[in-house]
Amino acid sequence: MMNLFRFLLATTAFLAVRLNIAHTKEWWENGNYYQIYPRSFRDSNGDGIGDLNGITERLQYLKDIGFTAAWLSPIFKSPMIDFGYDISDFYAIHSEYGTMEDFKALVARAKQLDIRIILDFVPNHTSDECEWFEKSVNREPGYEDFYVWHNGTVDANGKRQPPSNWISAFRYSAWEWNEKRQQYYLHQFAIKQADLNFRNPLVVAKMKEVMRYWLDTGISGFRIDALPFMFEKAPDANGNFLDEPVIDDVSICPDPDDWCHLNHTYTLDQPESIEMVYQWRELVEQYRKQKGGEPRVLLTEAYTTFDNLMLYYGDGERNGSMVPFNFYFMNSLKNQSTAQEIVDIISRWMNSMPDGVLANWVLGNHDNPRYSTRLGVQRADLFTILLQTLPGNAVTYYGEEICMTDGKITWEQTVDPSGCNANPSNYESYSRDPCRTPYQWDASKNAGFSDADNTWLPVAGNYRTNNALAQLRAPKSHLQIFMKLIRLRKLRSLQDGPLKIKAIGNDIIIYSREAPGDAMYVIVLNLGAREQSLNINQHFDMGRQAEVITSSLQSAYNDGDILDPSKYMAEPYVGVVLVKI
């Protein structure tokens, strides 16, 4: 089947545009970062769980589509309570995913194909099965304060209580009593995910050692997990952690066991977390100085304020993350957002970045509903076109390129701790399983993901009609559109051309990208259900003729159509990329 994939890619992936490749950039600039959720990508050994050899097998596919790099959710040894975000050995590969040899083979294959591999770095917590935790429980020298320990408090009835009212992101108290050590430990996520104590320099040093270890394997950088949680406010003069205030309007989140019930003034967004990213940036810069080679990147995961996201880039003196994931974009874009609102969201990011950094655009990941489900399948191509034609870096969650939608997962099938801690009537608001269903390769058993009779999560129901192979065969498909866009991104106008963007009425977004010496590209997105006629020349001077480069699947326009920009018809829910000819 892979040969057919290759053949189809080779024959269908041409761009009918003048080639004007941008000047040389560093590999990571204006790239397209593909997130692989290893458990769900490709199962090579028939156990129903994706693995490293499965990824290696399919790297060619990523190359053919045109991705710059793949970042992998955690592949390290883990009891899999949070599917790898609970690491028990930071130096070992998780056995269900393969061996260190398999990992080396993956990196080697990626090198051949010129695809960079980026690993997930999870500094905030370890599994309680990690050796460090056991040593800390036993108060072994050097490990006593590796985690956040506290005696707790005693209530009026003489009963032991947790040190503070802090709540886990997955519900209930963030403190767990440890019988052996006779103290509580902090876990901002699942009980089996113990928070490391980053106020301890030994922890800071240990985690830097972990980074250097993996850099030595030839990877090109890290995606860094859960940054806002890294530091907690230090205890007060009496050694107590302070309670967090309840939110002002409890009607928004009345359940006192739910994380959203509190204002996380002491457990989130402490300035030290951002400072730590600056240190890690220094580490990768130093590493390059010592060992040579190309830049190693940091991609950072922080659900935080807009201002903090800007600070993750750097504070003017020190540099931080190259790609502070733009969750502002992802979270602000709503189903009902107007054209002007979306233009404002984009412009705010573009106008607020510090000098010398690149924008980035994210619409999905393994923690959020897929954007085709969230923003409407009929508009999925429109948002793909938007994300891929904005300046800077693009981030693609596996399956977005074929417009995968969230799978339907019953309560009985739910495995995500965040879903399991809810109940049968509300789990769907919490569970992240639906966006983690196996990749839809083809129409065969389990969508070509696995030969097993049972897969760790069921394949989404629409795989027979919606899969990569079908989309490679079709003359027009989400994947064909995606491939056009990714090639387009390599052209000078799309790399260096300034963004001129505006809203027309409630539904139309129009923008141009044009660099000196290259053609003018104009993108028109109609968010609404109503067809609208438009004189594009009133906004951007496209002259008398424009050519359609690509358009949403349901559009009547075909690639290569020549049209009169002064009499343009913006079809409902359709995005179109035009070039002035």
Alpha helix ranges (H) inside 243-326? 271-291, 306-313
- The β-bridge partners of 462 are none
Can you tell me the distance from the alpha carbon of 94 to that of 231, in angstroms, rounded to the nearest whole number? Answer: 27
Length of the chain equals 581
Binding ligand GLC by CB under 6 A: which of 34, 85, 313, 398?
85
Identify the active-site residue in 96, 128, 176, 225: 225
Q: What does DSSP assign to residue 130?
A: S
Q: Looking at residue 14, what DSSP letter applies? A: -
Rounded CA-CA distance 268/226 in Å is 10
Contact code string over 388-417 relative to ligand GLC, x by CB under 6 A: ------------------------------
Q: Rounded to an integer, what distance in angstroms lies between the CA atom of residue 392 and that of residue 496? A: 9
Contacts of 444 (CB under 8 A, 6+ apart): none
In the complex, least distance from residue 189 CB atom to ligand GLC, rounded to whole angstroms: 4
Helix H segments across 292-326?
Answer: 306-313
Spell out the residues 6+ positions from residue 80 whose beta carbon is closer than 8 angstroms to its own: 86, 94, 96
Which 112-131 positions form the footprint of ligand GLC (CB under 6 A)?
Answer: 122
The amino acid sitting at 257 is: D
Out of 367, 451, 547, 564, the only residue in the binding site for ligand GLC (CB under 6 A) is 367
Using the minimum distance from each CB to ligand GLC, give the nearer residue, 85 or 557: 85
Under rule CB under 6 A, how many of the chain's residues touch ligand GLC? 9
């009929």: which residue's tokens? 378
Beta bridge partners of 525: 509, 575
Element (H, E) at 113: helix 100-113
**Contact between residue 153 and residue 403 where contact means Cβ atoms under 8 Å apart:** no
Is-contact 549 559, C-beta < 8 A?
yes
CB of 70 to ligand GLC, least distance (A): 16
CB-nearest residue to ligand GLC = 85
**129 catalytically annotated:** no
Report in angstroms how near the CB of residue 403 gets to ligand GLC at its nearest.
Answer: 22
Query: Smallest distance, Å, CB 84 to ligand GLC?
Result: 9
Which residue in the block uniquely carries the two structure tokens 């573009």?
Answer: 350
Q: How far is the CB of 301 from ligand GLC (least distance, A)?
A: 6
User: Are the CB atoms for 72 and 119 separated by under 8 Å?
Assistant: yes
Beta carbon nearer to ligand GLC, 146 or 397: 397
How far, in Å, CA of 488 to CA of 509, rounded?
Answer: 19
Kindly state whether residue 226 participates in binding ligand GLC, applying the rule CB under 6 A: yes
> Which residues lie closer than 8 Å to 531 by C-beta, 6 or more apart?
569, 570, 571, 572
Using CA atoms, how far apart are residues 1 and 10, in angstroms rounded to an integer?
14
CA distance 97 to 109: 17
- Asked if 30 and 358 touch (Cβ cutoff 8 Å), the reply is yes
Catalytic-residue membership of 272: no
CB of 85 or CB of 397, closer to ligand GLC: 85
CA–CA gap between residue 161 and residue 165 (Å, rounded): 9
| 65 vs 226, beta carbon nearer ligand GLC | 226
Q: Are 123 and 207 in contact (CB under 8 A)?
A: yes
The smaller minimum CB distance to ligand GLC, of residues 66 and 228, is found at 228
Q: Which of 258, 301, 381, 496 is catalytic?
A: 301
Residue 559: which of 152, 14, 20 has the closest Cα?
14
Closest by CA to 522, choosing from 389, 342, 362, is 389
Residue with smaller CB distance to ligand GLC, 122 or 343: 122
Q: In the chain, what is the greatest distance between 2 CA atoms, to the nearest angstrom?
A: 84
301 or 518, CB closer to ligand GLC? Answer: 301
Identify the residue among 82, 176, 442, 507 touching ligand GLC (CB under 6 A). Answer: 82
Rounded least distance, CB 547 to ligand GLC, Å: 41
By CB under 6 A, name the one of 146, 166, 189, 329 that touches ligand GLC: 189
Q: How many helices, marked H, and strands, marked E, lie in the chain?
A: 17, 25
Binding to ligand GLC by residue 225, rule CB under 6 A? yes
Smallest distance from ligand GLC to CB 517, Å:
41
Residue 149 touches ligand GLC, criterion: CB under 6 A? no
Site for ligand GLC in 337-366 (CB under 6 A): 366
Q: Tell me the three state secondary structure of residue 426.
A: coil
What's the closest the beta carbon of residue 223 comes to ligand GLC, in angstroms?
9
Distance CA 40, CA 398 (A): 9
User: Angle at the Cα of 38 (from 34 to 42), degrees rounded to 5?
Assistant: 95
Q: Which is nearer to ligand GLC, 137 or 224 (CB)?
A: 224
Q: What is the 3-state secondary structure (H, E, C) of 149-167?
A: EECCEECCCCCEECCCCCE
Looking at residue 253, what DSSP letter applies?
S
Judged by CB, which is closer to ligand GLC: 439, or 511? 439
Minimum Å distance from CB 432 to ligand GLC?
A: 7
Smallest gap from Cβ 518 to ligand GLC, in A, equals 38
Nearer to ligand GLC, 301 or 571 (CB): 301
Pick 231 or 573: Cβ nearer ligand GLC: 231
41 binds ligand GLC (CB under 6 A): no
Least distance to ligand GLC from the beta carbon of 122, Å? 6
Q: Return the closest-CA partner of residue 126 out of 191, 171, 38.
A: 191
Which residues are known to be catalytic?
225, 301
Residues that bind ligand GLC (CB under 6 A): 82, 85, 122, 189, 225-226, 301, 366-367
